Every structure is written in structure tokens, then in C-alpha cells.
């Protein structure tokens, strides 16, 4: 059994579909302002390793939009809470380049730090579509698809998503450490 | 002599006009993702107090826009670098409520932590005006004025600004600790 330290139930549900033997534990930890998701995750592990008794992992993700200089990036969660998908769509009005990349980084601690990164390329939709998923899911269309993540069930989203890709690497590591 | 730990020359120049006996020193320090500027500053002091030999202060500031749920807030610096003033003006299109507040928090360390907060109420201009100052100055009009901070010399900006208000409290403290 591994602890997943998060306060985000949606993430827990997505990950639970792929690794059964996890337990959600909510312990707030500091997130630093950085350029890379990896830095945020390493900083979180550093703080949590003194507080958690047992192996644990955390996950941080962000949406990086090319034509907005990678905004909202590692501040995706805060920016979602303030301007939301409507704000992003407003900033994207009349933008021809709608390319975006979802990034997920999982940090696992078993006495040492291990990082697993997953990316999902795609584009920003012209309007919000779908009520599934969470966060930016209703405005993100993965490459080669027509539906947004907001229009997909967890199982379908997990076929393409950044988080599932990071998780696959993590699962491989757990099998063959 | 007191060290001002910053990498922002504009801030140093503004502050230098009010306290002569400071020296700019650039040491990067982690900034956490938090709700309040005070938390970011306290975290910075905690990190720096082991590295700086002597009394020092840091300053963090943010622009809090009411109708955007306080966006860009404590992430003002990152958000400026990505979407800039043009992005803010885009998000403010057709917003009737243009109220905003600039906040500055100075954290001083002399063996203990001391915080000084300054606020400047105002509104977001309809377009960028002026090339003085830095950051969001060209789109911020302090209450009761017509000019943006971007159209003011440092001396005039210092009559109203959040940073100068925090600084006045800090100067009083240095006189009568």
C-alpha cells in the first residue's frame, strides 16, 4: 500500500483506476513558485518525507499554452480558481495557434526521490464542452481527437492523458524497480 | 547598512529614494504558492536567514483585481512575464468593476521577523499608458488620480504607492524599534 498525498479527489479517482493499492491522504505541503513542475514536486517531497510514515507519492500537473508563453503553467491550479476556463478562452480569442500541452509529474518517495513525467499534446477548444473531468478538461482536446477531456469518461481520458502516462512509468518502476 | 535582497532593480531604485543606507544583494530564494503575500515573504526570510550575514529585508508585491477574483495576486510576477499587461486588459474587456489593489509586503530580519504591509487602492486603465515604472504600472491608476503609475516619476509614484506605504512603516520601525 502506497499513500497518495493530495487534496484533489478527481486525481485520486483517475489514479485509483490504474493502481488499486493506494490510499488518499490529505496533508497540505508548500508548493514553490518555479519554472518546472519537477521543482515543485521535489520541494513537496522534501517537506513530506519528514511527515509521512511509509512510501508515498504526490502529483502536480499543469497546462502549458504555447501562444500564451506557457501560461498558466505551474500556476494552473491558482489560475483556474481565479479566471477559470472562461478567462483562458478570453485570452485565446483570435489566436490562431491553439497548441497546448498538459504535463503531469509524479514524485515517489521510498527512501529516495523518483520522478515520472507524462505529457499530452493537444489544443485549446473554442468553447467549454463536457462536464466530466475537472479543471481545464472541458477546454482541452488531445491530439488527433475531437472530444475534449471534459466529454470523456475516466477510462477514455486515461488512454491519452498526461497523468496516465506518468502513472504508467510509475507502475513500471514499481514492478521492476 | 541593511541588505535588500532582490533581483529587481526597479524596486531597488524606488526604495533607495526613501532609505539611503541600503545595499542591493541578489540571492535567489524560494517563493511558495500561497494565498497571502505575507506567507511568501515569511517563507523567503526563513530560507535567507541562514544565508545572509547581517540584517536584511525582502519585498514582495502583487496586483489584486476584484472582478478577476484577485488575479493575478501573488503570482503577479509570473503572470506579467507570460500574458503581460495586454493579457490583463483582455481579461478586463467589458468589465464595469475595474477596482484593483496593489499590495506590498516588506519582511525585515534582525534576528526576528517583522512584516510591514502597504496597500494602494485604484483601478485598471482601459489601455497601457506611460513608460515609467515597471510591471503593471502602465495599467494602474491610483484612487483619485488620472495618471497611471507608468506616467509618474518615482517621486510622484512614491506619494501614493503600496511599496512606499510599507516602506514608511518600516522606516518608522527602524527609528523607534
The answer to whether the Cβ–Cβ distance between A87 and B68 falls below 8 Å is: yes
Secondary structure letter of residue B117 according to DSSP: E
Q: Please tell me the predicted confidence (pLDDT) of residue A15.
A: 94
Tens of pLDDT, residue by residue over B117-164, are 999 999 999 999 999 999 999 999 999 999 999 999 999 999 999 999
Q: Does A80 touch chain B (CB under 8 A)?
A: no
Tens of pLDDT, residue by residue over B7-42, are 999 999 999 999 989 999 999 998 888 889 999 999
Whether A26 and A7 have beta carbons less than 8 Å apart is answered as yes
CA-based nearest residue to B83, from A33, A97, A67: A67
Q: Nearest residue on chain A to B65, judged by CA atoms?
A: A82
When divided into structural domains, chain B yields a total of 1
Q: Does B106 touch chain A (CB under 8 A)?
A: no
Q: Please tell me the predicted confidence (pLDDT) of residue B122.
A: 98
Q: What 3 state SS string does B16-54 have?
A: HCCCCCEEEECCCCCEEECCCHHHHHHHHHHHHCCCCCC
B87 interaction partners in chain A (CB closer than 8 Å): 68, 71, 91
The answer to whether the Cβ–Cβ distance between B69 and A83 falls below 8 Å is: yes
Grid cell digits, residue B89? 486588459
Q: Please tell me the predicted confidence (pLDDT) of residue A30.
A: 86
Q: Does B54 touch chain A (CB under 8 A)?
A: no
Q: Which chain B residues in 121-140 lie under 8 Å from chain A, judged by CB atoms?
A: none
d(CA B26, CA B17): 19
Nearest by CB to A68, from B32, B73, B83: name it. Answer: B83
d(CA B147, CA B125): 9
Q: Which of B28, B30, B33 best tests the A interface by mutation, with the highest count of A CBs <10 A?
A: B33
Q: Please tell me the predicted confidence (pLDDT) of residue B8.
A: 93
d(CA A174, CA A56): 12
Whether A129 and A148 have beta carbons less than 8 Å apart is answered as yes
Helix (H, G, I), strand (E, B) or coil at A131: coil
Q: Please tell me the predicted confidence (pLDDT) of residue A153.
A: 96
* Burial readout B35-67 (b: 16 or more C-beta within 10 A, e: otherwise): eebbbbbbbbbebbeeebeeebbbbbbbbbbee
Distances (CA, A) of B148 to A89, B117, B153: 28, 22, 11
Average pLDDT over all residues of chain A: 95
Tens of pLDDT, residue by residue over A102-145, are 999 999 999 999 999 999 999 999 999 999 999 999 999 999 99
The answer to whether the Cβ–Cβ distance between A73 and B82 falls below 8 Å is: yes
Q: List the catalytic residue out of B21, B35, B60, B137.
A: B60
Residue A27 clears pLDDT 90, i.e. is over it: yes
Q: Which of A78, A80, A84, A94 best tests the B interface by mutation, with the highest count of B CBs <10 A?
A: A78
d(CA A170, CA A117): 9
Average pLDDT over all residues of chain B: 95
Distances (CA, A) of A163 to A60, B3, B154: 9, 44, 48
The percent of residues above 70 in pLDDT, for chain A, comes to: 100
Query: Is B110 an annotated catalytic residue?
Result: no
d(CA B120, CA B123): 10
Q: What is the CATH number of the domain that holds B10?
A: 3.90.950.10
DSSP-assigned beta bridge partners for residue A2? A22
Instruction: State the residue range of the domain holding A48.
Output: 2-175
Q: Please tell me the predicted confidence (pLDDT) of residue A161.
A: 97
Whether B107 and B57 have beta carbons less than 8 Å apart is answered as yes
Q: What is the CA radius of gyration of chain A?
A: 16
Tell me the whole-structure pTM to 2 decimals: 0.85
Whether B143 and B96 have beta carbons less than 8 Å apart is answered as no
Tens of pLDDT, residue by residue over B34-70, are 889 999 999 999 999 999 999 999 999 999 999 999 9
Distances (CA, A) of A22 to A17, A157, B141, B154: 10, 20, 52, 56
- Please compute the mean of the pLDDT values over residues A53-68 and round it to a whole number: 96
pLDDT band for A34, please (50, 70, 90 cuts). confident
Q: Please tell me the predicted confidence (pLDDT) of residue B52.
A: 94
ipTM comes to 0.77
Give the minimum alpha-carbon distance from A70 to chain B in angstroms, rounded to a whole number. 7
A87 interaction partners in chain B (CB closer than 8 Å): 68, 71, 91
Q: Nearest residue on chain B to A83, judged by CA atoms?
A: B68
Residue A177 clears pLDDT 90, i.e. is over it: no
Q: Please tell me the predicted confidence (pLDDT) of residue B176.
A: 83
The percent of residues above 70 in pLDDT, for chain B, comes to: 100
Q: Please tell me the predicted confidence (pLDDT) of residue B119.
A: 98
Q: Nearest residue on chain A to B80, judged by CA atoms?
A: A71
B95 interaction partners in chain A (CB closer than 8 Å): none
Q: Please tell me the predicted confidence (pLDDT) of residue B177.
A: 74
Q: Please tell me the predicted confidence (pLDDT) of residue B107.
A: 98
Amino acid at each position: 500500500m502506497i499513500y497518495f498525498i493530495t487534496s484533489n479527489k478527481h486525481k485520486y479517482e483517475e489514479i485509483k483506476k490504474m493502481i488499486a493499492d493506494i490510499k488518499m491522504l490529505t496533508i497540505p505541503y508548500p508548493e514553490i513558485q518555479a519554472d518546472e513542475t519537477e521543482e515543485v514536486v521535489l520541494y513537496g517531497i522534501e517537506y513530506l518525507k519528514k511527515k509521512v510514515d511509509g512510501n508515498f507519492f504526490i502529483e502536480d500537473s499543469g497546462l502549458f499554452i504555447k501562444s500564451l508563453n506557457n501560461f498558466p503553467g505551474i500556476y494552473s491550479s491558482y489560475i483556474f480558481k481565479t479566471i477559470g476556463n472562461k478567462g483562458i478562452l478570453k485570452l485565446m480569442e483570435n489566436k490562431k495557434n491553439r497548441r497546448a500541452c498538459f504535463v503531469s509529474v509524479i514524485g515517489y518517495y521510498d527512501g529516495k526521490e523518483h520522478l515520472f513525467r507524462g505529457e499530452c499534446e493537444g489544443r485549446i477548444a473554442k468553447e467549454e464542452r463536457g462536464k466530466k473531468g475537472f479543471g481545464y478538461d472541458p477546454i482541452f482536446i488531445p491530439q488527433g481527437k475531437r472530444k475534449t477531456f471534459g466529454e470523456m469518461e475516466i477510462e477514455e481520458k486515461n488512454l491519452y492523458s498526461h497523468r496516465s502516462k506518468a502513472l504508467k512509468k510509475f507502475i513500471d518502476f514499481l514492478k521492476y524497480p
